[in-house]
Amino acid sequence: MHSEIKIRIKDLSEQIKEVTKESHVRAENTELMLSFQRGQVTLPQYKLLLCSLYEIYRALEEEMDRNSNHPAVAPIYFPAELARIKSIEKDLEYFYGPDWREKIVVPAATQRYSHRLRQIGKENPEFLVAHAYTRYLGDLSGGQVLGRIAQKSMGLKSGEGLSFFAFPGVSSPNLFKQLYRSRMNSVELTAEERNGVLEEAVRAFEFNIQVFDGLQKMLSVAGNEQRQSSTDSKAVHGKTLQIPGTFSPMLRMILGLFVALAAVVGLYAL
């Protein structure tokens, strides 16, 4: 007599956690996360981060809104509880002023990330599940702790410039995460769609890592320019370093930030 063998299919949330394990570790070891962990995040770092978060969340939330009735998106659509774009806009206005839209700068990697979100929103809306899960639950999990670290590191008054970390619509993060995972695990997907979502989850982490690395490379280039200019200025007494007006807005900004960044944590990724 053969004994019955029951095969349990893993929940989607469990599978995402497994397939992104390596990428998660790599993301945590970027300069941005290490700065947070050391309690050494600087204001320039945080402002640059907000700029990229704005572009990423704008794309994500516009596509989530547009596909809110899609069978894979509807169960995890919680705009009142999770939407970040208004909070990020509030923080950007605090740091950059009312004309903040004219001042924000992002690396090419951020633009690629945003483009991917808009692409899948049109072609494969079910893939939005992977990006929403990795972004929202990641921010919800670490938001309060990272918010306190950022506040202390940058000497900000309570709540000022830190709206991104606050989720006023979520009274209990742990209970909400349980609800979110339950809703996500209830989404009906074909085997092909499930595999696509898992691949997209890995891609989501890779996009974040690329964003961090993209700014690190830009800072490295800017640092070389700054060091060369410093060397040249030593040979010509009485002259001060000028940032050429022909440089791009991003490069002019990075050049201006480099000395402060290098003094605290060295070259920084996002």
pLDDT digits (tens, 9 = 90+) for 102-121: 998 888 999 999 999 999 99
Cβ–Cβ < 8 Å for 132, 76? yes
Query: Residue 48 has what pLDDT?
Result: 83
Rounded to whole angstroms, how far apart are CA atoms 224 and 9? 53
Query: Residue 1 has what pLDDT?
Result: 47
Q: Tell me the CATH architecture of domain 17-216.
A: Up-down Bundle (1.20)
Query: Residue 222 has what pLDDT?
Result: 52
Helix (H) / strand (E) element for 190: namely: none
Query: Residue 232 has what pLDDT?
Result: 55
The single-letter DSSP state of residue 162 is -
Angle at 127 between CA 121 and CA 132, to 5 degrees: 90
Query: Residue 73 has what pLDDT?
Result: 98
- Using CA atoms, how far residue 59 sits from 1, 39, 53, 98, 116, in Å, is 57, 30, 10, 22, 9
Query: Residue 221 has what pLDDT?
Result: 63
Cβ–Cβ < 8 Å for 87, 166? yes
Query: Residue 36 has what pLDDT?
Result: 66
Mean pLDDT in order along the chain per 10 residues (270 residues): 51 94 82 69 81 96 98 98 97 96 92 98 98 92 80 83 93 95 96 97 93 71 57 45 36 33 26
Query: Residue 150 has what pLDDT?
Result: 82
Query: Residue 152 has what pLDDT?
Result: 84
Q: Could you state, in order of their start, the residue ranges of all structural domains in the chain?
A: 17-216
Query: Residue 230 has what pLDDT?
Result: 57
Query: Residue 64 has what pLDDT?
Result: 98
What is the crossing angle of helices 21-28 and 12-19, to 10°?
A: 60
Query: Residue 10 has what pLDDT?
Result: 85
Binding residues for heme b: 17, 24, 133, 181
Binding residues: 17, 24, 133, 181
